[in-house]
Amino acid sequence: MSDRLLFLSNDAAGSADEELAEEVATALREGFEVVRASPVTPAELEATLAGFDGERVVVGGGDGSLHLLINALATLGRLADVLVGLVPMGTGNDFAGGVGLPPEPLDAARAYLDGDPAEVDVIRADDGEYVVNAAHAGVGAVAAERAQGVKPVAGRLAYPLGAIQAAATEAGYKVELRLDGEVIYTGSMLLTLVANGSRIGGGAHLYADADPFDGMIDVLVIDAIPLHERPGLGLDLQRGIHLERDDVHHWRGRRLQLDGTDISHNRDGELRHGLADVTYTILPAAWRLLR
């Protein structure tokens, strides 16, 4: 064996997910001495990582699983030291799709046998939480919360269904945005997106040019338009022409300050409610991804 590798999976014994995870582990064993673990809580994850002395950690899951791993490594001071692999086994797999990882879990696992690491940016919130793919505030976070209830049944359709319901009920949120110290927006918005990756919500390309390797964050704001105009916005989002609209705004920079009270934020699928005056900063080349 060329090296030791820790494979993290979140599965239940005897389930279909566990069977797939074991197939992935078998594929990884073609090149590595594989240690398997299935920590349930963030504390268990940190303990597992602290007890592993290898440099390669592969997680089977989606954006949320990768989010938890990156935050745990940062807490342990090992973010820059560990080579991270992601096997797409989540619902949406937005980050994996955005960076071009093989969509099939076994293909992704085999790619790590001779893959090279790439340095990847990460977004850091001023409360200390790291965001791998994207953070969005407002109606998108409400949509994600409403999607959770139907996710086991609807799968990748859960977020679009939640978005439709949220867009029909949420009035808007008064905010002031400053990008790299300059005021760029003051008013009532439906959604503010802070993107590192190009996809959210199971494949939606709200900001398709976002690149987690360029040292920049991409910011998109949708005005709190009247209810009767929102179906047209939804169609333009599906067609990918929403950036041409006068009520959709976008910028690029390195540090976004979002001043507003009692707003829900979605960070890689992890919901944070009732936040006020949040700052997101890009940290270039902060961790290494196996590809």
CATH numbers and ranges of domains, the chain: 4-115 (3.40.50.10330), 130-282 (2.60.200.40)
Indicate the DSSP class of residue 39: -
Instruction: Tell me the two tokens of residue 9.
Output: 């999976």
**For residue 195, which of 261, 143, 256, 285 has the smallest C-alpha distance?**
256
d(CA 85, CA 162): 30
> How high is the pLDDT of residue 134?
96
Task: Note the helical H segments in the chain.
Answer: 16-28, 42-50, 63-75, 94-98, 105-111, 139-148, 151-154, 158-169, 230-239
Question: Where does the chain show beta strands of DSSP type E?
Answer: 4-9, 33-37, 56-61, 83-88, 117-125, 130-131, 134-138, 173-179, 182-195, 217-223, 248-253, 255-259, 263-267, 270-275, 278-290
Q: How many residues does the chain have?
A: 291
> How high is the pLDDT of residue 59?
97
- Per-10-residue mean pLDDT of the chain, 291 residues long, equals 83 70 96 95 96 95 96 97 95 92 96 92 98 92 61 50 56 94 97 95 84 97 92 88 96 98 93 95 97 88
d(CA 43, CA 68): 10
**For residue 67, which of 159, 113, 13, 133 has the smallest C-alpha distance?**
133
> How high is the pLDDT of residue 230?
86
Cβ–Cβ < 8 Å for 32, 1: yes
> How high is the pLDDT of residue 1?
38
Rg over CA atoms, the chain:
19
d(CA 87, CA 27): 12
Spatial CB neighbours of 218, under 8 Å, sequence gap ≥ 6: 193, 194, 195, 196, 207, 209, 210, 250, 251, 252
State pTM to two decimals: 0.90
